[in-house]
Amino acid sequence: MEDIEQDISIDLLVEELPTLRAKIGLSQSEVGEIIGVSRQTYSAIETKKKK
Contact of 50 with 41, CB cutoff 8 Å: yes
Does this model's pTM top 0.85? My answer is no
Question: Is residue 2 within 8 Å of residue 16, measured between CB atoms?
Answer: no
Query: How many domains does the chain divide into?
Result: 1
pLDDT, block means (10 residues), the chain with 51 residues: 83 91 96 96 85 59
Give dist(CA 7, CA 29) in Å, integer.
25
Are 42 and 28 in contact by the 8 Å Cβ rule? The answer is yes
Residue 32 included in any domain:
yes
- pLDDT in the model for residue 51: 59
Query: What pLDDT was estimated at residue 17?
Result: 93
CA diameter of the chain: 33
pLDDT at 7: 84
pLDDT digits (tens, 9 = 90+) for 7-19: 888 888 889 999 9
CA-to-CA distance for 11 and 36, rounded, in angstroms? 21
Asked if residue 51 is part of any domain, the answer here is no
pLDDT on residue 24: 96
Residue 23 sits in which domain range?
Answer: 3-46
